[in-house]
């Protein structure tokens, strides 16, 4: 990793943490402006619903459910290249799950009330548990984004790499939008979940590059001794 990329990764990490800490403080102190904004945004999406969008965002949400992610993680661990792809993706997902669970227990924020889907849509039910931060915006997104990043390293053509990352970012934002649209999370739940996801991923990139650099030095030293 060159110096410019390292600095941009560190900057991205710091910005995501700053946004998270700021919103965390406002939510835990029950800031009126934030609460009003969250409720207003939820009401806007509730009023703008259509059956087509109901189905679209329910399908997207199903792709981010815990059981879906667990099944996909198991599949990745059974693949021949699990050391290069499966293990890093599963590791990041597990770390994110733990962080998300701890934060939900600390904040214990209730989900939006009386704004869920009126009509049954593919059997999707209002999730149990607390609202902050969004598990889909955080853990589901980190799974799909880390998977895309792992596949990215195997692609040689620049256009294919750009296409994959564009799709990964688009899907990540679509997942976030789905949680707000279905009113199973407030806007700030989703933003904070996304911020934690970005922070964890940035830390992973910095650590990974650091260990790769150390390993490269050891390999060069070993070759020199031979």
Residue 158 pLDDT: 86
Burial of 25 (0-12, 13-18, 19+ CB in 10 A): exposed
Q: Which two tokens stand for residue 214?
A: 């150390």
First-to-last CA distance in the chain? Answer: 28
CA distance 135 to 189: 9
Q: Phi and psi (nearest 5°) for 38?
A: -60, -45
Residue 209 pLDDT: 63
Q: Which residues of the chain have pLDDT under 50?
A: 211-223
Cβ neighbours of residue 115 closer than 8 Å, sequence gap 6 or more: 42, 43, 46, 183
Residues 119-146: tens digit of each pLDDT: 999 999 998 889 999 999 999 999 999 9
Domain ranges of the chain: 3-216
Q: How many Å separate Cα 178 from the centre of its chain?
A: 13
Tokens 């700030």 found at: 188
Residue 103 pLDDT: 94
């Amino acid at each position: 990793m060159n110096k410019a990329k390292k600095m941009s990764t560190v900057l991205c990490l710091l910005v995501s943490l700053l946004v998270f800490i700021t919103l965390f403080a406002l939510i835990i102190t029950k800031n009126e402006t934030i609460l009003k904004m969250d409720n207003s945004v939820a009401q806007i999406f509730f009023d703008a619903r259509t059956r087509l969008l109901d189905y679209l965002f329910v399908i997207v949400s199903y792709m981010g459910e815990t059981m879906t992610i667990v099944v996909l993680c198991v599949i990745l661990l059974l693949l021949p290249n699990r050391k290069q792809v499966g293990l890093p993706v599963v590791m990041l997902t597990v770390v994110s799950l733990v962080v998300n669970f701890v934060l939900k227990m600390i904040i214990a924020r209730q989900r939006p009330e009386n704004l869920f889907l009126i009509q049954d849509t593919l059997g999707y039910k209002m999730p149990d548990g607390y609202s902050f931060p969004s598990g889909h915006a955080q853990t589901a997104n980190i799974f799909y984004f880390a998977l895309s990043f792992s596949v990215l390293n195997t692609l040689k053509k620049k256009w294919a790499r750009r296409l994959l990352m564009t799709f990964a970012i688009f899907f990540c934002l679509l997942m976030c939008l789905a949680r707000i649209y279905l009113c199973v999370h407030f806007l700030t739940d989703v933003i904070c979940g996304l911020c934690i996801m970005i922070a964890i991923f940035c830390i992973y990139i910095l650590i990974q590059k650091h260990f790769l650099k150390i390993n490269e030095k050891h390999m060069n030293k070993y070759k020199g001794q031979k």
